[in-house]
Amino acid sequence: MHAGNTHDAATGGVMPAIHQSSTYAYPALREQPEHIYTRISNPTRDAFERAVAELDGGARTFAFASGMAASSAVLELLEPGDHIIGPANVYGGSFNMLKAAGEARFEVSHVHQNEGPQAIEAAWRGNTRLVWMETPSNPLMHITDLKAAAAVCTARGALSCVDSTLATPLATRPLALGCDISMHSVTKYIAGHSDVLAGTLTVSSDDLAARLKAVRNRTGGVLASLDSYLALRGLKTMALRVGRQFGNAGRVARALQEHPKVAQVHYPGLEDHPQHDLAKRQMDGFGAVVSLRLRGDSNAPERMLNALELFTIAESLGGVESLAGFPPLMSHSAMTPEAREAAGITGNLVRLSCGIEDAADLIADLHQALERI
Ligand SMILES: Cc1ncc(COP(=O)(O)O)c(C=O)c1O
């Protein structure tokens, strides 16, 4: 609520104004104003960035026009020929980004990072400069041990960057665990209302901040002031929303686990999740995404999704309304079938993003839809 102390300095407004100006007047030629040009800085965006920096516990936050714009900026910190170690299960858009990066300028490997730091060490090369992590992973909710992974990166001299979107800054603080960069698709839980696209990078040091500042000024994918305002407004109620959403997801996961038409439920809050103990140590709460594998024929996911009434079939996650999707056709459609198979994104997998509705209503909706498969 109070992160970043975002009151408007000029007027005392409890919320900052939406500073809708692309440029700023110089008092005289050699007297630079505090803000020069909105691609470089903007008072509304600064207020949002201060709030995220405090939540993430970092030296500085940079807000971008989308999560993917933020992620892509991290790759600009590397040199051609550098090697990146990514996760086997990762958001489809990030998989795409790493695939294109591997084809154009870098070397890229994907490893099962949830199996522990030894999986990362085994893939290490002399030119490894970045370990890209995502925890919990989308959609399988794999958990990576960030403290152990960060220790490997620090010892061997590579950057560690964590897509912490599904955890939120309230549940996991990658920088406190030794990682260099914490990334969020703000579009999801931080903004929280499915009405804005945004992304952030929070860095651990002033040196990284200076390097990323130069990248962002050069590449220009900044968050606009109106969207910064919306993201900040959303951030102020994040604790309430996320608390409710995580609680709903836990109840939904347990209800699905007992259903005869469900073969498997992926949710780190369940005792049988392979990294449940790690999730308990590393996270405050277990997230609000639940994925499930259905029994039945290959059309079962489609029949279930089309029968849902309260869950909306849509891309994205993290908003106040519950959403449901079929990763092979939606969030992970750009992956080849082989890459999906290797990542465990099979044809019977459904992803749920739990919103703030009443948990009993969500469970009733899932039960009636499961009856129809
Ligand atoms: C885990 C994760 N990271 C990154 C992104 C990309 O964010 P954006 O859609 O804001 O570009 C998404 C979007 O679904 C995501 O789920």
Q: Name all domains of the chain by residue range, CATH numbers in brackets.
A: 43-236 (3.40.640.10), 238-371 (3.90.1150.10)
Residue nearest to atom 8 of ligand 1 (CA): 67
Atom of ligand 1 nearest to the CA of 187: 10
Across the chain, which distance is largest between two alpha carbons, in Å? 74
H or E element that contains 331: none
Q: Name the residue among 238, 205, 230, 352 with its Cα closest to residue 293.
A: 352
Rounded-to-integer distance, Cα 143 and Cα 115, Å = 9
Residue nearest to atom 9 of ligand 1 (CA): 67
pLDDT at 13: 93
Does residue 197 have its Cβ closer than 6 Å to ligand 1? yes
3 state DSSP class of 110: strand
Best probe residue, ligand 1, of 91, 95, 142 (max atoms within 8 Å of C-beta): 91
pLDDT at 9: 82
pLDDT at 326: 98
The model scores a pTM over 0.95: yes
Residues 6+ apart with CB under 8 A from 35: 24, 41, 42, 43
The mean pLDDT of the chain is 97
| Residue 143, strand partner residues | none
Does residue 138 have its Cβ closer than 6 Å to ligand 1? yes
Tokens 């010892």 — which residue? 155
pLDDT at 323: 98
Does residue 200 have its Cβ closer than 6 Å to ligand 1? no
> What is the whole-number distance in angstroms between the Cα of residue 67 and the centre of ligand 1?
5
Q: What is the DSSP string of 227-292?
A: HHHHHHHHHHTHHHHHHHHHHHHHHHHHHHHT-TTEEEEE-TTSTTSTTHHHHHHH-SS--SEEEE
| Residue 323, strand partner residues | 312, 353
Does residue 185 have its Cβ closer than 6 Å to ligand 1? yes
pLDDT at 10: 87
Q: Is the dihedral of CA 194, 195, 199, 202 positive or negative?
A: negative
CA triple 63-199-223, angle to 5 deg: 45
Residues 6+ apart with CB under 8 A from 26: 32, 33
> What is the whole-number distance in angstroms between the Cα of residue 27 and the centre of ligand 1?
41
Residues of the chain with pLDDT under 50: none
Rounded-to-integer distance, Cα 88 and Cα 119, Å = 11
pLDDT at 1: 87
> What is the whole-number distance in angstroms between the Cα of residue 1 and the centre of ligand 1?
24
Summarised one tens digit per residue, pLDDT across range 206-264 is 999 999 999 999 999 999 999 999 999 999 999 999 999 999 999 999 999 999 999 99
